[in-house]
Structures are given as structure tokens and as C-alpha cells.
């Protein structure tokens, strides 16, 4: 992953956790759904994910599915910021 992509993901994690050290998996899944639907900060004008059209939507859908499957592998009901960073 490029440095810009890494920075974007770290910014998203910081936004999702909002100063907390852990959140529920459900809250993380809601944040991923918001990202997929375009309500998160993913519309800031960075990178190819902001191109309009079906390709962007398909990429966001696949990314969301991949991340949710990784979250499902975590046995606890909460996820720490460090777990999120390693998963994402």
C-alpha cells in the first residue's frame, strides 16, 4: 500500500475511534458501512476512490466486504485501535 493510502487509513481509524482506545466491533462495522455508502470522510478528494461511477462503488463494496471478514475473525466484542490498524 502506498504512503498516501496508509495515511488515509490511519486518518480514518483516528476519525472512527475519536480519541478512544477501543470501540465495539458493531461500531466499526457501522463506520465501514458509512464509508461504503460515501458518508464517511472518504469523499475528501483523495485518490482513485473518489471517481464517480460503478467502478468506485464496486471497489468500495469489495474493500468493505474484505474488512468485515477480517473483523469477523476477531473473537472479542471490542476492537482496539492497534487491532484496527493491523486489520486495515
Residue range 46-69: mean pLDDT, rounded: 71
What is the pTM assigned to this prediction?
A: 0.66
Separation CA 21–CA 14 (nearest Å): 10
pLDDT at 22 over 90: yes
Domain extent for 29? 3-87
In the block, cell 462503488 appears at 57
Residue range 15-25: mean pLDDT, rounded: 92
**Cell digits for 88?**
486495515
Residue range 30-55: mean pLDDT, rounded: 65
The pLDDT value recorded for residue 2 is: 65
Q: How many domains does the chain have?
A: 1
pLDDT winner (highest mean) among 53-57, 75-79, 82-86: 75-79
Residue range 52-72: mean pLDDT, rounded: 79
Label residue 42 by pLDDT band (50, 70, 90): very low
Give the count of beta carbons closer than 10 Å to the beta carbon of residue 36. 20
Amino acid at each position: 500500500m502506498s504512503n498516501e493510502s496508509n495515511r488515509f487509513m490511519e486518518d480514518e481509524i483516528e476519525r472512527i475511534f475519536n480519541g478512544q482506545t477501543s470501540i465495539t466491533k458493531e461500531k466499526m462495522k457501522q463506520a465501514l458501512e458509512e464509508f461504503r455508502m460515501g458518508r464517511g470522510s472518504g469523499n475528501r478528494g483523495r485518490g482513485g476512490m473518489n471517481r464517480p461511477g460503478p467502478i468506485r462503488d464496486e471497489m468500495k463494496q469489495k474493500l468493505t466486504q474484505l474488512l468485515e471478514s477480517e473483523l469477523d475473525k476477531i473473537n472479542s466484542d471490542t476492537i482496539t485501535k492497534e487491532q484496527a490498524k493491523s486489520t486495515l
